[in-house]
Amino acid sequence: MYRQLHAQSAPSEPLRLMYRVYKYLLPEVRQELARWSARAASIPNEELRQQALASLSTKQFHCEGGSVYAAIYPEQRDILIPLIVAFQTISDYLDNLCDRSTSLDPRDFRLLHQSMLDAVQPERPLTNYYALREEQDDGGYLHALVMTCRDSIEKLEAYDQVREDIVQLVTWYTDLQVYKHIDKTKRESALLTWWEPYQHDFSELGWNEFAAATGSTLGMFYLFAAAVDKNMTREHARIIREAYFPYVCGLHILLDYLIDQEEDRIGGDLNFCNYYPDQETVILRIEHFATKAKQATSKLPNARYHRMIIEGLLALYLSDHKVREQSEVLQVSKRLMKGSPLMRIFFWINSHWIRKHMY
């Protein structure tokens, strides 16, 4: 029954999916973002207000990309869009706070990201997530984001079936954010120590690839969407998580790092692509992740839908203006698009439509 319902509700053609996303979902995402921007503008503390507004204005495409998962069940988008936008907004806001932090305390970073774990575990008490930093008064902004996630989760009929897998993904995400933002002289050793217990289960990955995969929210979003289906089971949830992690999630974040390589080199920021021995290896591993992502999701109901998401993900990042400024990255784009008419369609649409509205 799960397979039948899921297959019926997902779009069957690329153009139909794109039309649905651009015509209906993106305007609703932007309404949500506008609502949170208005709330962020009233944050009393200047630093928290600036970082909240900056995350909403510069990273809105994260929420827009996540909204594709609401296309699985468009009749439930009134649940899924507020949930996806609020959860991704927490992620982006905290990333800004840690990236541009007045603190290098790992306890501070972990307490901030406790809000994400609390957002997906509604029975947990809220706390002062700013308790270990100077900036305190956000006017209830972060609590409001957490409560919006919880309110939406309460409406997901099968959330209990996906909860364990979502919590695992959020836990990994939280760990990554703590270790990648600490003092530069300590972060690599902390990431390697964190990786040690996972080496056996993910032996095909490098430590940097595992870390990259934990930084994606896509698996969480798909599990949120899957929880709309009352016929979802824990076994199906496990299948979804294993299909998305590590390859779809890893592809997502490696592409993000790929296009930021030059920018991160200049700024001295952590970039997982820079841990490969050379650029050719970067290209080969991203190609490998793309292939494995398609293979992994081919086992899911309506595999074509997930293939479209992967192709769209590649097109979104590789059509970024930063690619044109990096000749080696441009090679990746050409190689990945070769023999993929679907990706070329998405590439053209992203280049001429999304970018027009983002820059």
Determine the pLDDT at residue 219: 97
pLDDT for res 137: 97
Does the structure show a pLDDT above 90 at 24?
A: no
What is the CB neighbour count within 10 angstroms for residue 64?
23
| Mean of all residue pLDDT scores within the chain | 86
Whether the pTM exceeds 0.85: the reply is yes
pLDDT tens readout for residues 261-271: 877 777 778 89
Whether the CB-CB separation of 146 and 127 falls below 8 Å is answered with no
Percent of the chain clearing pLDDT 70 (strictly above): 84
Tell me the pLDDT band of 310, cut-offs 50, 70 and 90. confident
pLDDT at 36 > cutoff 80: yes
Radius of gyration of the chain (CA): 19
Residue 32 has pLDDT above 90, yes or no: yes
pLDDT, position 4: 37
Q: Tell whether the model's pLDDT for residue 355 goes beyond 80.
A: no
Name which residue leads in pLDDT, 325 or 114: 114
What pLDDT does 327 receive?
63
Longest CA span, the chain: 53
The per-residue b/e assignment along 229-257, b for 16 or more CB within 10 angstroms, e otherwise, is beebeeebbebbbebbbbbbbbbbbbbbb
Percent of the chain whose pLDDT exceeds 90? 62
Higher-scoring residue by pLDDT: 100, 127: 127
Amino acid 8: pLDDT: 40
| Section 325-349 average pLDDT | 60
Q: How far is CA 304 from CA 78, 131, 229, 254, in A?
A: 25, 46, 19, 22
Tell me the domain boundaries of the chain: 13-155, 201-358
